[in-house]
Amino acid sequence: MKGLLEAVYVFAVLLWLAACSSTAPPTNASPEPTRFAALTWASNPEARVVLVTYCCPSPTTEELVRFYIPEAQLWGDGRFLWIEEDEDGARHVFITRLEPAEVAALLQEIVASGFFEWDEAYQGEAVVDAASTCLSANLVDQAKTVCETHGGTPVAFYNLIDRLSQGAGHSGNRYRPARAFVSGFQLGNVTGTRPAAALTWEETQAEGPATRILSGFWLEGSETLRLLWEAANEDPYHMPVVEDGDNLYRIILQVPGVSWIEP
């Protein structure tokens, strides 16, 4: 009889231990970041696999959006382009090419941060004319964009944005477009201080009259393109001014495959 009681007691203890081991984790436990058995992405040169944007204060203008180049872009073939600003606010565009293993490591870093578990939109303190910061990651089996306006996202979001917009630990070469579309608009009667011109129309060495800006034209591998590209990078938040006699024009430079909005 004693042996039977001992057996029953041992059996009860084993049942209790089994129940404890199968208890669900606390509901406030942090979720495990999504893991992919194999990270796959579209490898064609036109596919933007990663995109970081910081644009544009509301109310946005069509001209400003067309002029904008994203903070960081990674394409399927490994081309990686990012923007840095110097202490004077000038824009410097860098480009490099990552090996497939480096692309996979960068994507895994995004996945491991918990990116695919975050909300798609975060709103911090309400601020008038605040620009939104967005990060997009596009894998073959999942794609997502997360945006924040003046705060509210996990700290890891800002860490990723900072890292990507600084080249993610890679060095690069200065980027210069081989082809771009030039357009713009004429400034009307200027009240107050007349905007300073970055170039005169004659200095641009462009062919034809300055009114060509209004309808737009393509430039390819020319000295004019180099001069306008340098002028555009002096202040990425204000389109450069070109002067033709008494007339002033704001120039919009769009680079196919690089500018946020295609020409």
pLDDT in tens, 65-99: 888 899 999 999 999 999 999 988 899 999 999 99
Which band of pLDDT confidence, cut at 50, 70 and 90, is reported for residue 30?
A: very low
pLDDT in tens, 224-256: 999 999 999 998 888 899 999 999 999 999 999
Between these two residues, 8 and 34, which has the higher pLDDT value? 34
Residues 177-231: tens digit of each pLDDT = 999 999 999 998 767 788 889 999 999 999 999 999 999 999 999 999 999 999 9
| DSSP one-letter string for 28-85 | TSPPPPP--SS-----STT-EEEEEEE--PSSP-HHHHHH---SEEEETTSEEEEEEE
pTM tops 0.85: no
Question: At 24, is the pLDDT very low, low, confident or very high (cuts 50, 70, 90)?
Answer: very low
**CATH number of the domain at 48-173, please?**
3.30.1560.10
Percent of the chain with pLDDT over 90: 63
217-220 and 199-200 strand pairing: unpaired
- The token duo for 190 is 């200027």
Q: Which residue in this structure is represented by tokens 């996202």?
A: 153
Q: Is residue 160 scored above 60 in pLDDT?
A: yes
Q: For residue 26, is pLDDT > 50?
A: no
- The pairing of strands 121-123 and 143-149 is parallel
The answer on pLDDT for 4 being more than 50 is: no
> Taking the domains of the chain in order of start, what are their residue ranges?
48-173, 177-254
For residue 128, the model assigns a pLDDT of 60
Q: Please enumerate in sequence order all residues whose Cβ is within 8 A of that of 120, keeping only pairs 6 or more positions apart, or say none.
A: 144, 145, 146, 147
Strands, DSSP E only, in the chain?
48-54, 72-75, 79-85, 91-97, 121-123, 132-138, 143-149, 173-174, 179-186, 199-200, 217-220, 241-244, 247-254
What integer pLDDT is reported at residue 150 of this predicted model? Answer: 78
Mean pLDDT for the chain overall: 84
User: Quick check: 242 and 251 in contact, CB under 8 A?
Assistant: yes
Stretch 104-128: mean pLDDT, rounded? Answer: 89
